Structure 1
Amino acid sequence: MKRVKIIGGGLAGPEAALQAASLGCEVTLYEMRPHRSTEAHQTSDFAELVCSNSLKSESENSAPWLLKQEMRRANSFLLQAADASSVPAGHALAVDRTEFSNRVQQLIEQNPRITVVREEMTSLPEDLDVVTVLATGPLTSPALVNELQRLTGSQHLAFYDSISPIVDASTIDMEKVYFAARWDKGTADYINCPFTKEEYERFIQALSTAETVPAKEWEQIPTSHSETEGSASPTNNQQLATPKYFEGCLPIEEIARRGHDTLRFGPMKPAGLTNPRTGRWPYAVVQLRQENLRADSYNLVGFQNHLKYGEQARVLRLIPGLGNAKFLRYGQIHRNTYINSPSVLTETLQLRSRPDILIAGQLSGVEGYTESIAGGLLAGRFAAALAQGLTPVPPPRLTAHGSLIHYITHSEAKSFQPANITFDLLLPLEEELRKKIRDKKERHRIQCERALEAWQQWLQSAIKMMVE
């Protein structure tokens, strides 16, 4: 049996390591932190969540719920750790970051088949007796980006991702806020900061004049002919372009530039959040989500930004209830790297030019914590099959996992962008059935039912193949 090497200790890497080890493989897990950190990480912990602490909706028959249900049926180790470290978050699965990382660390340390090596990998193995999973995430080191460009012969793409501010719970003025869940779905775990029209106008004015952080060279996205030839860093012939933000994770100042009321239809949407003091929806609202099990800190949902820290303090304290807030962490925007998967990856996450190398997690073009763990789950299983001399089989297109894989490997390469799991990615119902069933929720229920059935059959056939 071949040995499995996994590079990256974020979300996809540990999940892949634990999956491969559970299937009998000897695994070496490489992580460069603490010897070399990234521009966004604050610790050297496995599975550090650098942005929000949410793994999205747990509402039955939603797309994120379906993905997690498939993961639970496949014994996802990181999802088990998330469930065990969850904090109240209405109908979403949110975790205590520290507890989550600690549980993942314990799973890795207690597994006798996993060896951890804390050093930076600057090249990819050429050993034919090794299967490699590259799960270095959106902040892959320049050395490995160069390696990928050398192997794939294609340019790497980039977008900007985000970190939301975190506030000390004891400094929130609870007389000015209220607990509620949107449309009363789930428990009322979110703190809501309600705005009047005048307060919103004042906030928008302050935001529009706030000074942003100049983009550092490592954050810039080079644009020139030389980039298409695989240059890893700007040359004298390249120009540094303006930030290319990921549309699903825009900074609040960018959203505000797109229209005076744009924030009220985005992260500050008040719909379904009735204020018990007035019996009405506020003009706008900022939601705070619990950060940890102690409930001593909350993050500002969807409030990633690229403002200077002093400016953040000034602007964010205009939010009702946060006038005297102490911020434990300010918002940030950082560059993420991902490969052009439709051009270079197979449906089993293998590089076409090097089938012994698999790409997992956000580096492959999936977006989100849950999606990254799901990519690690598949990569670990595919790697285990390859290590045993078997041919890995991708999950069915009907499933959430299969739909994600299909998206990143079959999209139009020229316009490829990372994606979260949504029903848009899943196979729609047959036209005749769509005409018969008008209710969208019922359609989604049937899609989920079909997906879980197909997923279970795939799991059973994969296990049978490995046993035989």
Structure 2
Amino acid sequence: MKIRVIGGGLAGPEAALTAARMGCKVDLYEMRAMVDGKPRLTPAHQTTEFGELVCSNSLKSESPNTAPWLLKQEMRRAGSALLKIADETAVPAGHALAVDRVEFSRRIAEAIANEPAIHVIREEVTRLESDDYELTIVATGPLTSGAFSEEIQRITGAGHLAFYDSISPIVDAESIDMERVYFAARWDKGTADYINCPMDRAEYDRFLDALLAAEAAESKEWENLDYFEGCLPIEVLATRGRDTLRFGPMKPVGLRDPRTGMRPWAVVQLRKENVRADSYNLVGFQNHLKFGEQARVLRLIPGLENAKFLRYGQIHRNTYICAPVLLDEFLRLKREPRIVFAGQISGVEGYTESIATGMLAGIYAGALASGHEPAAVPRGTALGSLVHYITHADAKDFQPANITFDLLEPLEEEVRKKVRDKKERHRMVCERAMDKFGAWWAEQRVVVAF
């Protein structure tokens, strides 16, 4: 079976590698390319590499019996190619799985180059219909080109939705004043891999006033600044009240300063960008301010007075389809089953979720290549719950979602009444989900002779 995968971000390479190992021939298309010696990029990408992580470098929690951990455990059981690479390129990040961006992308490219069933084509796709492929997996992500967005709109018969994400700044590690900061992990989860910049009340008030007065970057005429609630810029959060940031990205809970024994009024956390620890990103500090304003305001943070910024925060478009109306439980277009959507354009939010749906699309393609109708991943699993949400949510108010326990099926009422401890209930939900995923995956392995 020959399939086409469109998009070289996270979901696309995962779908291509999964489908290839299950017997499919794959043409992998990516529009970012070198043209006449110059890179052709999107408004947010900085390279032409596969799997470039545009925002943070974190694939979220690795704490046992959390929803992000559960999703990753299911993916590991199914042999997710990109998650394996993430594990192998991990950098210390407390209880989170964070990766070295450059090495992560390099290893993805290496895996694709070493897979003879995958043929890479560096050009923009503008037409979805094709007689050359039995199946097309659309994984063009949040930065889908204007021309291809119009094609998706044409083929689906419905408008697509858009919101806007912002990118966190990155600072040079050598420019951080280490005398003013300390290492710790919030709530002592994992190792103390985060640099913490503590603020007293006066420092916080001065920072907040400067942030509220800072000038925003000019918006493009196509922007309507409809932000995703789960990824709001810090300047937007700041307008919601003087303590909003202290209860959000600057929450000091569990970050007692070992030098004073006191809990700061607020804290800014920095996370490693790579194994060398020569750069750090400001966790949760995505913003849409002018670069000069960012430098002025962020240098009010203790320890960053002389910070050298390797990248400033930016805004970028995030495009996604109305999956509850358009997709079936196999991520296929209801009106054109030969077209499958995966990754953020399908309505999931987050790196891990994007990889997971790419993996699922590849598994379904493998089943079809073996002459079998695929079996839907069970609702009671993390991956199944994620797919159930994007295909069954209220279409009127549909927004992309990360994996959370709210999406998973609750325990039976009798069990909930008996087990009062929340952590124990989560453990039981995870155990049940892993059993269901394991049984489903065992059946898929038989179907595709994997």
TM-score range, shorter chain: over 0.9
- Which SS does the other structure have where 2:448 is aligned? helix
- Which SS does the other structure have where 1:217 is aligned? coil
Separation of aligned partners in 2, 1:377 and 1:81: 14
Decide whether the 8 Å contact of 1:131 with 1:387 is kept in 2. no
Separation of aligned partners in 1, 2:440 and 2:18: 16
Corresponding residue of 2:243: 261
Separation of aligned partners in 2, 1:40 and 1:129: 30
Separation of aligned partners in 1, 2:345 and 2:419: 38
Corresponding residue of 1:114: 118
Question: Is 1:91 aligned to residue 82 of structure 2?
Answer: no
Correspondence for 1:418 among 375, 379, 400: 400
Question: Is 1:351 aligned to residue 351 of structure 2?
Answer: no
Separation of aligned partners in 2, 1:388 and 1:343: 29
Decide whether the 8 Å contact of 1:17 with 1:114 is kept in 2. yes
- Which SS does the other structure have where 1:467 is aligned? coil
Corresponding residue of 2:297: 315
Question: Is 1:77 aligned to residue 81 of structure 2?
Answer: yes
Corresponding residue of 1:196: 200
Q: What is the TM-score of this pair, normalised by structure 2? A: 0.98
Corresponding residue of 1:168: 172
Displacement of 1:152 in angstroms is 1.4
Decide whether the 8 Å contact of 1:4 with 1:384 is kept in 2. no
Corresponding residue of 1:232: none
Kindly report which structure 2 residues correspond to 1:198-277, keeping only aligned pairs within 5 A, or say none: 198-218=202-222, 220-221=223-224, 243-277=225-259
Displacement of 1:190 in angstroms is 0.2
Identity rate of aligned residues, in percent? 68
Displacement of 1:386 in angstroms is 2.4
Separation of aligned partners in 1, 2:251 and 2:362: 39
Corresponding residue of 1:225: none
Separation of aligned partners in 2, 1:80 and 1:465: 23
Aligned length: 445
Corresponding residue of 1:48: 52
Displacement of 1:146 in angstroms is 1.1
Displacement of 1:313 in angstroms is 0.2
Displacement of 1:392 in angstroms is 1.5
Correspondence for 2:135 among 115, 131, 141: 131
Separation of aligned partners in 2, 1:391 and 1:145: 29
User: Larger deviation: 448-457 or 117-126?
Assistant: 117-126
Separation of aligned partners in 1, 2:157 and 2:438: 37
Question: Is 1:430 aligned to residue 412 of structure 2?
Answer: yes
Separation of aligned partners in 1, 2:448 and 2:310: 48
Decide whether the 8 Å contact of 1:72 with 1:79 is kept in 2. yes
Separation of aligned partners in 2, 1:395 and 1:371: 14
Displacement of 1:81 in angstroms is 0.5
Decide whether the 8 Å contact of 2:128 with 2:155 is kept in 1. no
Corresponding residue of 1:387: 369
Per-residue CA deviations over 1:246-298 (Å, capped at 9, x if unaligned) read: 01100000000010110000000000001011101100000000001110000
Question: Is 1:32 aligned to residue 31 of structure 2?
Answer: yes
Displacement of 1:129 in angstroms is 4.5
Displacement of 1:387 in angstroms is 3.1
Question: Is 1:458 aligned to residue 420 of structure 2?
Answer: no
Q: Which runs of 5+ in 1 are unaligned?
A: 222-242
Q: Which runs of 5+ in 2 are unaligned?
A: none
Separation of aligned partners in 2, 1:442 and 1:128: 51
Per-residue CA deviations over 1:407-447 (Å, capped at 9, x if unaligned) read: 00000000000000000000000111101100000000000
Aligned-pair RMSD on alpha carbons?
Answer: 1.0
Show structure 1 runs of 4+ deviating over 3 A: none
Question: Is 1:341 aligned to residue 341 of structure 2?
Answer: no
Displacement of 1:143 in angstroms is 1.5
Separation of aligned partners in 1, 2:202 and 2:438: 54
Separation of aligned partners in 2, 1:128 and 1:115: 14
Separation of aligned partners in 1, 2:198 and 2:345: 38
Displacement of 1:183 in angstroms is 1.3
- Which SS does the other structure have where 1:408 is aligned? helix
Per-residue CA deviations over 1:38-91 (Å, capped at 9, x if unaligned) read: 110000000000000000000000000000000000000000110010000000
Correspondence for 2:308 among 320, 323, 326: 326
The change in CA–CA distance for 1:389 and 1:143 in structure 2 (over 3 A counts) is farther
Decide whether the 8 Å contact of 1:130 with 1:387 is kept in 2. no
Displacement of 1:388 in angstroms is 3.3
Amino acid at match of 1:8: G
Correspondence for 1:441 among 399, 423, 426: 423
Separation of aligned partners in 1, 2:121 and 2:129: 15
